[in-house]
Amino acid sequence: MMPRKSDIPAAFRKSVVHEPSGRRIVRTVDFQRELANLNHVFTLREANRWIENYQSCFKDISTEEGERRTFFLYNPNSAGSY
């Protein structure tokens, strides 16, 4: 099946994890995996750029260097955009 650009936001939503504390996070590797399930081939760098460009309510909270990053929803009131 050919990948559809419109599937990218759905892959992002599927990669968001709701922690018991109520915090919502997304890891780049999880987003990349969900994209692959929909036949999209993104590098970790491309996945990070997509998050940075299209998900302004998610903030980088990574604790290590590199492209394996973690983002969290820092303003749940603007969650409608994710």
CATH number of the domain that residue 13 is part of: 1.10.10
Between 75 and 39, the higher pLDDT residue = 39
* pLDDT digits 0-9 by tens, 9-43: 999 999 999 999 999 999 999 999 999 999 999 99
| Residue 22 one-letter amino acid | G
Provide the pLDDT for residue 1.
72
Compute how many other C-beta atoms are within 10 angstroms of the C-beta atom of residue 32. Answer: 21
Is residue 47 in a domain?
yes
Q: Which domain holds residue 20?
A: 7-76
CB 39 within 8 A of CB 1: yes
Is residue 2 in a domain?
no
| C-alpha distances in Å from residue 75, one per residue of 24, 53, 63, 66 | 10, 16, 20, 25
Is residue 31 in a domain?
yes
Is residue 14 in a domain?
yes
The count of domains in the chain is 1
pTM: 0.89
Is residue 81 in a domain?
no
Provide the pLDDT for residue 66.
96
Provide the pLDDT for residue 3.
83
